[in-house]
Amino acid sequence: MEAFEAFASAACRYTTVRVRTQLPTDFVDITDRVQALVNGSGLGAGLVNVQSLHTTVAIVVNENEPLLLTDFATFLERTSPAQADYRHDDLSVRTVNLTADERINGHAHCRALVLPSSACLNIVDGRLRLGRWQRVFLVELDGPREREISIMLMGESGR
């Protein structure tokens, strides 16, 4: 196990990243953007936490193979069908958190329930530590929309 010197030059760095999604269910590969933030941070070791700021957006780590992403969409539709009945969408009885442009999205919330809302990833040797096939995705569950994620990097400077 490698040990870094005391946190003499350690730091927190953070930013908000905007992502435009294109589909109702969309997997947007944000790996390169996260990697660029790690590179630009000057951190040699630590953690980067990629956090959704929405209740119908998840952050997952999986493989970026286009057919697999259609399998994921099929899987999510099977677990929480878009056309099923959700009490959240019954605007005749609901009284809480209503907006002028309320969306019919109970299915999207249920899908979000079983997907991670953030990914906490290791930084090693100044780079995002990922396996060969691992990519970081923003998962849009109720799009298309403009979305935001919060990224926090914390650790030890230098390599």
Q: Which of positions 116-145 make contact with a copy of itself (CB under 8 A)?
A: 116-124, 129-131, 133-134
Please say which residue, 35 or 118, places its beta carbon nearer to a copy of itself: 118
Mutual orientation of helices 106-113 and 66-79 as an angle, nearest 10°? Answer: 110
Structure tokens at 77: 């539709």
Strands 118-124 and 127-128: antiparallel
**Residue 100 interacts with a copy of itself (CB under 8 A)?**
no
Question: Is the C-alpha dihedral spanning 43, 45, 47, 50 positive or negative?
Answer: positive
Smallest distance from a copy of itself to CB 2, Å:
6
Give the x/- contact pattern for a copy of itself in 11-40, rule: CB under 8 A. Answer: xxxxx---------------------x--x
**Residue 8 interacts with a copy of itself (CB under 8 A)?**
yes
Cα dist. 10→4, 56, 156 in Å? 10, 34, 4
Contact 157, 84 (CB under 8 A): no
User: How many amino acids of this chain bind a copy of itself (CB under 8 A)?
Assistant: 78
**Residue 154 interacts with a copy of itself (CB under 8 A)?**
yes
Q: Which of positions 39-78 make contact with a copy of itself (CB under 8 A)?
A: 40-41, 45-47, 49, 51-55, 60-68, 70-72, 75
